[in-house]
Amino acid sequence: MGMPELLSSETLLPEIAHADLVAQLTVALPPASLLHQREDLKPFECDGMTAYQRVPLLVALPENEDQVRAVLRICHKGRVPVVFRGAGTGLSGGALPYAQGLLLVMAKMKQILHIDPVARMARVQPGVRNAAISEATAPHGLYYAPDPSSQIACSIGGNVAENSGGVHCLKYGLTVHNIQKLRFVTIEGELLEIGSEGLDAPGYDLMALITGSEGMLGVVTEVTVKLLPKPEKAQVVLAAFDDIVKAGQAVADVIGAGIIPAGLEMMDKKATAAVEQFVRAGYPLDAAAILLCESDGTSEEVANEIGRVKEVMKNAGATEVRTSRDETERLKFWAGRKAAFPAVGRIMPDYYCMDGTIPKKQLPYVLKRIDELSAKFNLQCANVFHAGDGNLHPLIMFDANNGDQNSGSLTHNTIVGNIITASKTVQLGCVPRSLDRTQDNAYEYIACTSPANGDKIIALRTSDDTAVFQLAIAAPTFVLVRPNDTQLFVGQGNGHVTTIDISKRADGSRKNVVLPKRTITLSPGNLVTSLAFVPGGGTLIVGTNTGFTFNYDVVGNLPALIASHQSFNGVAAVGLSPDSTKTYVFLNAPAYDLDASGNVLLAGNVHIMNTATLSVLSTLNCSPNPITAALLVKKRYFYVTQSDGTLCTVDTTTDLVVNSSAPGGFLAAEDIAGKRLFIADQQDNVVETVTLGKTGPTSDQQGVSFGGLPANSTVVGLSVFSK
Ligand SMILES: Cc1cc2nc3c(=O)[nH]c(=O)nc-3n(C[C@H](O)[C@H](O)[C@H](O)COP(=O)(O)OP(=O)(O)OC[C@H]3O[C@@H](n4cnc5c(N)ncnc54)[C@H](O)[C@@H]3O)c2cc1C
């Protein structure tokens, strides 16, 4: 893949000095809206196309149209190149900045300005998430139809710039067909209004010119979208095929029969296998490919169309044809499709997502060729796509660390029961699950499980890296040392949180005894995945795999439940803001899930809650990928690692995701001095150091590799102490 021509060019140098430019922009923007320190800029170095990265000269985050215009006028006068960015989920590198240019990020302009249910329109700012429009208009029985798979994160401004489509676009059209009016600022800072709230507008029809212009003609500052009434009924046919070419032919047959389904999507066997492990959508795993074909409208229309679709599928050779029996099942079928990208991200360290549209009649031929190429180059390829409009997304899986990229299979390592320290390898005889150190750095407490040797908590003395103490405890999954080093909380696989007294005796040794009656008992289905302690209030936040977040008072004689929140998917980590007033809940569940009534829950990735009441303040989406761990660094930023090896950084002062796609790892620890970050990467046996900048992690990767881990190790935790 070649570098786009302009990118390799360094001719676009600004004609005004950096300091002058910063001075001028400082007048035009509030202080928090102009980033110019390298460590603040680093998170914006790429979008969803992570293969190319370039740190911008400056980042501007305007809060209103006047600020957008002022920034553009200054840049135009100084001949500073500008690139626009929405949520940075684009897969074609459109938001990749210039090293000598300004990145204009629209993320702070995220207000829904007006909803007109009668005219079925909504006026929104460009940073509003696609899914947020349907969420806001649902009470009026309305929704916004174009639904890119990234809809929980991508912005409407980005959708306009990319003319984005999704499952429902086959029947309801692309972005261009679903917008009415735009406010738009040219690179010179001139404001234009295009389109109107009526059916037609005077002058040239520039809507189609701007839509899909990829940010090359100016920046969208306001979008008036069309809204549709939620259909009375929707139903999905799931058809399985023993041959991918037959499935491709069935797509052509559906369209050929004059049926325009509300959605027509295809997934091949590799994609369904990945999805089933992840969301259990109920897909048949023996099928070479499945088709999901949705019909919506009145009950009569749906019944009629579903009957015709089933017939076409059977005639095309489907081995199984199922119809969703109720709304819960329909949403379950779609939940699998929508989680396909992150599902593939879970099983392979890297994948390259192609995005191309082909004539529909060529589907069988193209799918056959993809299969042949996959075999020829020994690269697995999962196919997930909007089959109805011929928009393919072959996901080419590879392992960037594997020179010839031919491993082809997931190498999930056997866990060996060792703790690797700077000085030696300590044989534990059990599998470490989690570790935490005392604040005085004297001990490392390790949760360790083993069917043969029994589960236990081990205390490692850090002065000589010797295991000095063992305490039998069932299925320990998470350990947390209370800040004053007097108690150790142990989360367990059986739904308990046990408190161990680790305070010092008079002779300086630790007591290490289970405190009677200090065990919190959750319901048995709750495996405790994470704990966080709120120092001021003396409360403990408990995250579990079943998605509960409990808040317990652990100061009194018995732990008392203060509040609980139950509607989350699996909680990967819980963390607190530096002042503990906010609780961040990081999810490892798919971005989409169903509640008990079958409504789609946009679970998102990070819920920000009021610590005292556990009420949700806001929801952030790093990306639709499950989160594996989260760590607060520099007393300000959460460094959030995701299952597909990407990281996102959440700024706790603004509660904005400041990066959603830089390369990351899956576990991290900050050193005592706050200068370095240690990261375990996805290959389990590598630990790297990354320099921490003044305000957050950069991914400079300038540190050394921490070698010496045995080949079959899985890194389960990192802890840093000074000796
Ligand atoms: C998991 C995943 C699934 C995806 N699925 C789909 C899909 O089903 N269909 C689909 O179409 N795309 C899909 N995409 C691609 C991407 O999400 C869309 O292109 C989306 O519209 C980009 O929106 P954004 O806000 O992230 O834009 P960005 O990535 O920030 O920017 C994209 C382009 O738009 C320009 N831009 C952004 N905001 C503005 C603005 N306000 N004014 C002018 N120009 C602007 C940028 O300069 C850039 O050229 C997917 C991406 C991911 C990661």
Q: Convert the pLDDT of each residue in 524-559 to its tens digit.
A: 667 888 899 988 778 899 988 777 778 888 877 678
Best CA proximity match to 695, nearest among 29, 59, 49 = 59
Q: How many A from CA of 167 to the centre of ligand 1?
A: 16
Instruction: Label residue 410 by pLDDT band (50, 70, 90).
Output: very low
- Closest ligand 1 atom to the C-alpha of 166? 8
Q: Which tokens in the block code for residue 228? A: 């549709």
Pocket test residue of 91, 108, 266 for ligand 1, highest count of atoms within 8 A of CB = 91
Q: How many A from CA of 90 to the centre of ligand 1?
A: 4
pLDDT surpasses 90 at 188: yes
- Closest ligand 1 atom to the C-alpha of 147? 8
Cβ neighbours around 347 below 10 Å, total = 20
pLDDT at 299: 94
- Closest ligand 1 atom to the C-alpha of 153? 26
Closest protein CA for atom 16 of ligand 1? 90
Mean pLDDT computed over 189-199: 91
Percentage, residues of the chain above pLDDT 90 = 34
**Which tops the pLDDT comparison, 44 or 479?**
479
pLDDT at 62: 96
Q: How many A from CA of 41 to the centre of ligand 1?
A: 20
pLDDT tens digits, one per residue of 289-331: 999 999 999 999 999 999 999 999 999 999 999 999 999 899 8
Q: How many A from CA of 149 to the centre of ligand 1?
A: 11
Pocket test residue of 52, 162, 642 for ligand 1, highest count of atoms within 8 A of CB = 162
pLDDT at 88: 87
- The CATH number that domain 1-228 falls under is 3.30.465.10
| Poorest-pLDDT segment among 265-274, 352-361, 638-647 | 638-647
pLDDT surpasses 70 at 608: yes
Closest protein CA for atom 1 of ligand 1? 150
Instruction: Label residue 254 by pLDDT band (50, 70, 90).
Output: very high
Q: How many A from CA of 621 to the centre of ligand 1?
A: 14
- Residue-averaged pLDDT of the chain: 80
pLDDT surpasses 90 at 45: no
Q: How many A from CA of 612 to the centre of ligand 1?
A: 37
Q: How many A from CA of 158 to the centre of ligand 1?
A: 4
Ligand 1 shell residues, CB under 6 Å: 47-48, 83-91, 94-95, 106, 126, 148-150, 154-155, 157-159, 161-162, 164-166, 214-215, 219-220, 341, 624
Cβ neighbours around 296 below 10 Å, total = 21
- The segment with the largest mean pLDDT, out of 253-262, 371-380, 402-411, 466-475, is 253-262
Mean pLDDT computed over 352-377: 83
Mean pLDDT computed over 392-405: 66
Pocket test residue of 6, 71, 89, 623 for ligand 1, highest count of atoms within 8 A of CB = 89
| Sequence-distant (≥ 6) Cβ neighbours of residue 630 within 8 angstroms | 572, 573, 575, 584, 586, 638, 639, 640, 641
pLDDT surpasses 70 at 50: no
Phi, psi of 171 (to 5 degrees): -90, -35
pLDDT at 717: 54
- Closest ligand 1 atom to the C-alpha of 215? 44
Q: Helical H runs in 79-120?
A: none
pLDDT at 495: 81
pLDDT at 689: 47
- Residue 40 is given by DSSP the state H
Check whether domain 409-705 has CATH 2.130.10.10, yes or no: yes
**Which tops the pLDDT comparison, 592 or 135?**
135
Mean pLDDT computed over 85-105: 91
Torsion of the alpha carbons at 545, 498, 606 and 561, rounded to the nearest 10:
100
Instruction: Label residue 647 by pLDDT band (50, 70, 90).
Output: low
- Closest ligand 1 atom to the C-alpha of 84? 47
pLDDT surpasses 70 at 267: yes
Query: What is the Cα Rg of the chain in Å?
Result: 27
Instruction: Label residue 704 by pLDDT band (50, 70, 90).
Output: very low
- Closest ligand 1 atom to the C-alpha of 106? 41
Q: How many A from CA of 29 to the centre of ligand 1?
A: 25
- Closest ligand 1 atom to the C-alpha of 164? 11
Instruction: Label residue 688 by pLDDT band (50, 70, 90).
Output: very low
**Which tops the pLDDT comparison, 522 or 690?**
522
Pocket test residue of 129, 150, 174 for ligand 1, highest count of atoms within 8 A of CB = 150
226 phi-psi bin (left φ>0, alpha ψ -120 to 50, beta other): beta
**How far is residue 267's CA from residue 244's CA, in Å, rounded to a whole number?**
9
Pocket test residue of 50, 68, 84 for ligand 1, highest count of atoms within 8 A of CB = 84
pLDDT surpasses 80 at 417: no
Closest protein CA for atom 52 of ligand 1? 150
Closest protein CA for atom 18 of ligand 1? 90
pLDDT at 418: 47
- Cross-strand partners of 699: none
Mean pLDDT computed over 573-582: 89
Hey, where are the domains in the chain? Answer: 1-228, 233-398, 409-705
pLDDT at 683: 46
Q: Taking the model in full, what pTM does it have?
A: 0.61
pLDDT surpasses 50 at 705: no
| Sequence-distant (≥ 6) Cβ neighbours of residue 208 within 8 angstroms | 176
Best CA proximity match to 428, nearest among 462, 480, 473, 465 = 465
Mean pLDDT computed over 228-236: 95
Q: How many A from CA of 55 to the centre of ligand 1?
A: 19
Q: How many A from CA of 164 to the centre of ligand 1?
A: 7
Cβ neighbours around 573 below 10 Å, total = 24
pLDDT surpasses 90 at 117: yes
pLDDT at 189: 97
Starting at the edge strand that comes first in sequence, how are the strands of the sheet with 676-680 ordered? 667-670, 676-680, 687-691, 705-706
**Which tops the pLDDT comparison, 639 or 308?**
308
pLDDT at 452: 64
Q: How many A from CA of 49 to the centre of ligand 1?
A: 11
Instruction: Label residue 372 by pLDDT band (50, 70, 90).
Output: confident
- Closest ligand 1 atom to the C-alpha of 213? 44
312 contacts 259 by C-beta, under 8 angstroms: yes
Q: How many A from CA of 471 to the centre of ligand 1?
A: 52
Best CA proximity match to 102, nearest among 134, 141, 72, 67 = 72
Q: How many A from CA of 436 to the centre of ligand 1?
A: 40
**For 233-398, which CATH superfamily applies?**
FAD-linked oxidase, cap domain/gating helix (3.40.462.40)
Closest protein CA for atom 35 of ligand 1? 215
Closest protein CA for atom 36 of ligand 1? 158
pLDDT surpasses 80 at 592: no
